[in-house]
Amino acid sequence: MKTVKWRRELPLHILVFPSLIIVFLYCYIPMFGNIIAFQDFRPIKGLLGSEWTGLTNLKYVLEMPNTYRIIWNTVYISTMKIMMGNIVPIIIALMLNEIRKTYVRRSIQTMIYFPYFLSWVILAGILIDILSVQNGIVNQALGWFGIQPIYFLGNNTWFPITLVVTDTWKEFGFNTIVFLAALTSINPSLYEAALIDGANRWKQTLHITLPGILPIVILMTTLSLGNVLNAGFDQVFNLYSPQVYESGDILDTMIYRIGVADAQYGPATAIGLLKSSVSLMLISVSYWMAYRFANYRIF
């Protein structure tokens, strides 16, 4: 009996097998490769031949003068992004919901999620051009209102703000669609009942629409908790420069510089491992919370 079942399942095992191997090679082996974090890794000696140094690498990284500021930058930038990335789409979705002409709504939707599909390389190229101090169109437009040119990408006060605003600009279309889908699933009879009770549009929004999308808002926020240590490598790496390291350097760019530019494999892996371990805890907690409160399952 058992062998029959096994034989019937065999084709399914074969279907899984190629993906299993690739994921093992390029996801699981790098996970074990994290032991470099505890070694004085020398490429010639290899993974098993290098000398074990315990927590020296981690201590070295944590004692670097900028580490704590970089951790702070990371958490600050990503928290601001998570907040803006949820608040702006809610407002836009509510506003779009008030538009009754379908074709207008559709064309606005089409335009607002266009930046979502462009990579940060393209967007950075565009942003560097339009935000430039000399001929950038943004500073020209500000000039019409008598505002002095602002060095958005080179000023430590403005750089984090620019990061958050441009990230929201790229991403808000996506969440807007998610919230709009949630809005359309609200039972219309609730609105009719409220109308009979004399509630105006504003009251309806406050007491029906917002509570109606609250579960999905909680879900999206919860799931984004796992990203607190991901402040957006692609964006920062393409937009930053040494003069804004103070306010814009994040963990991932620091890991890149230590590991790739300075070729200090051990320390880079140590800080990377610390980051992925904390992220693992955060993601587990956020998925557990999403499961507990919003009944969300990954698969």
Partner 1 sequence: MIRRVSVSRSLFDICNYICLIALSLLCILPVIQVIAVSFSSSSAAASGLVKLWPVDFSLKSYEFILKKQDFLGSFLISVMRVILGTSISMFLTVTLGYALSKEVKDFRMRTVYAWYFVFTILFSGGLIPWYLTIKYTHLLDTIWALVIPGAVTVFNVILLLNFFRGLPKELEESSFIDGASHWTTLWKISLPLSMPSIATVTLFTVVGHWNSWFDGLMLMNSPSHYPLATYLQTAVIQQDFANMRAEDVKTLSQISDRTTRAAQIFIGALPIIAAYPFLQKYFMTGLVMGSVKE
Tell which positions 227-286 bind partner 1, by CB under 8 A.
233-234, 238, 255-256, 259-260, 265, 268-269, 272-273, 276-277, 279-280, 283-284
**How far is the C-alpha of 280 from the C-alpha of 99, rounded, in Å?**
42
Binding letters toward partner 1, positions 83-102, x by CB under 8 A = ---------x--xx-xx---
Residue 149 and residue 147: Cα distance in Å, rounded? 6
Q: Residue 40, SS3?
A: strand
Terminal alpha carbon distance of the chain: 30
CA separation (Å) from 164 to 67, 205, 227?
Answer: 21, 28, 14
Contact between 294 and partner 1 by CB under 8 A: the answer reads no
Size of the site for partner 1 (CB under 8 A): 82
Q: Which amino acid is at 121?
A: V
Tokens of 222: 């919860």
- From the list 294, 99, 81, the residue with the least C-alpha distance to 175 is 81
Nearer to partner 1, 244 or 255 (CB): 255
Q: With respect to partner 1, which residue has the nearer C-beta, 132 or 247? A: 132
Alpha carbons 180 and 15: distance in angstroms, whole number: 37
Cβ nearer to partner 1, comparing 75 with 94: 94
Choose between 28 and 72: whose C-beta lies nearer to partner 1: 28
Stretch that binds partner 1, among 22-30, 62-70, 153-161, 186-194 (CB under 8 A): 22-30
Query: Does the footprint of partner 1 cover residue 130 (CB under 8 A)?
Result: yes
Minimum CB separation of residue 152 from partner 1 in Å reads: 13
Q: Is 13 an interacting residue with respect to partner 1 (CB under 8 A)?
A: yes
Find the binder of partner 1 among 127, 150, 217, 231 (CB under 8 A): 127
Q: Which amino acid is at 148?
A: Q
Name which of 77, 129, 80, 61 is nearest 247 in CA terms: 77
Identify the residue among 75, 82, 84, 128 touching partner 1 (CB under 8 A). 128
Contacting residue, 55, 64, 111, 195, with partner 1 by CB under 8 A: 111
Q: Which two tokens stand for residue 81?
A: 């992004």
Q: Which of 3, 135, 148, 189 binds partner 1 (CB under 8 A)?
A: 135
Give the range of 5-13, 63-71, 188-196, 242-250 binding partner 1 by CB under 8 A: 5-13
**Helices H / strands E in the chain, number of each:** 16, 2
d(CA 235, CA 238): 5
CB of 12 to partner 1, least distance (A): 5
Residue 82 sits at φ, ψ, to 5 deg, of: -65, -45
Least Å distance between CB 282 and partner 1?
A: 10
Residue numbers 152-211 binding partner 1 by CB under 8 A:
169, 173, 177-178, 181, 201
Please report, as residue ranges, which positions from 50 to 89 form the binding site for partner 1 (by CB under 8 A).
Answer: none
Closest CA to 96 of 1, 195, 2, 173: 173
